[in-house]
Structure 1
Amino acid sequence: MDPFLLKTLHIVGALGAFAGIGAIIAAADDKHRKLAGALHGISLLVLLLMGFAMLKKPPMDQHWWQVKLVIWLFIGAAPAFAKRKVLPAGALVGICLALGATAAYLALAKPF
C-alpha cells in the first residue's frame, strides 16, 4: 500500500480519536456519548492498523513504537476516565493532547 495513504489514514485515525474524546466529554446524553464512543473506538482501530502497516515488521531493536503503543492505550482509556470522572475534563483533555504530542514526537524523531 502507498506509504502516503497509510500516513494520511493514520493521521485521520488520530484526529478521530481526539474528536471522540472531546465529543464524549461534551455529550449531553447517552445517545450522543455512545456515538462519540464509537467514533473514538473505530478511530483507534484505524490508528493501530495503519501504524502497524507502516511499520510492516516492528523493529525489535527500537522501542519508540512500544512507548507510542502505551500512550495510545492511555488515550484509548480516556473515555472511561471521563465517564468515571477520575480527572477533571480540562485536565484529561490537556493530558491527552500532551501525550498525543509526545506520540507524534516519537514517530518523527525515533529517539530510542
Structure 2
Amino acid sequence: MDPFLLKTLHIAAALGVFAGVGAIVTAADDKSRKLGGMLHGIFLLVLLLMGFAMLRKPPMDQHWWQAKLAIWLVIGAAPALAKRKVLPPAAILGICVVLGAGAAYLAMAKPF
C-alpha cells in the first residue's frame, strides 16, 4: 500500500480518536456517549492497523513505536476515566491532547 495513503489514514484516525473523546466528555445523554465510544474504538483500531502497516517498512528494532503504542493505550482508556468521572472533562481532553502531541513527536523525531 502507498505510504502516503497509510500516513493519511493514520492521521485521519488520530483525529477521529480525538473527536470520539470529545464526544464522550461533552455528551448530554447516554446515546451520544455510546456513539462517541463507538467512534473512539473504531478509530483506535484503524489507527493501530495503519501504524503497524507503516512500521512494516522500516526495521522494527527501534523502540520509539513501543512508547507511542503505550501513549495510545492511555488515550484509549480516556472514556473509562470520563465515565467514572475520575477527572473533569476539560482535564481529560487536555491530557489526551498533550499525549497526542507526545505521540506525534515520537513519530517525527524517532528519538530512540
Instruction: Give the structure-1-normalised TM-score.
Output: 0.96
Measured in 1, the distance between the counterparts of 2:59 and 2:38 equals 31
Q: Structure 2: which 5+ residue stretches go unaligned?
A: none
Q: Give 1:109's aligned residue.
A: 109
Amino acid at match of 2:51: G
Aligned residues: 112
Alignment partner, residue 72 of structure 2 = 72
Q: Is the 8 A contact 2:37 2:79 kept in 1?
A: yes
Asked if residue 18 in structure 1 is aligned to residue 18 in structure 2, the reply is: yes
Q: Does structure 2 retain, via aligned residues, the 8 Å contact 1:52–1:58? A: no
> Is the Cα–Cα contact under 8 Å of residues 6 and 50 in structure 1 kept in the other structure?
yes
SS in 1 for 2:72: helix
Provide Cα deviations, 1:54-101, integer angstroms capped at 9, x if missing partner. 001674431100000000000000000000011111111111100000
Whole-angstrom CA distance in 1 between matches of 2:95 and 2:59: 28
Q: Once superposed, what is the RMSD of the aligned Cα atoms?
A: 1.1
Counterpart contact for 2:26–2:89, Cα < 8 Å: no
Given that residues 44 and 76 in structure 1 are in contact (C-alpha distance below 8 angstroms), is that contact kept between their aligned partners in structure 2? yes
**Secondary structure of residue in 1 paired with 2:77:** helix
Matches for 1:3-82 after TM superposition, within 5 Å: 3-56=3-56, 59-82=59-82
% same residue: 79
Instruction: Compute the displacement of 1:36 (Å).
Output: 0.7
Q: Call closer, same or farther: CA 1:3–1:60 in 2, change over 3 Å.
A: closer
Write out the 4+ residue segments of structure 1 that deviate beyond 4 Å after TM superposition.
Answer: none
1:86 aligns with 2:86: yes
The alignment's TM-score, normalised by the length of structure 2, stands at 0.96
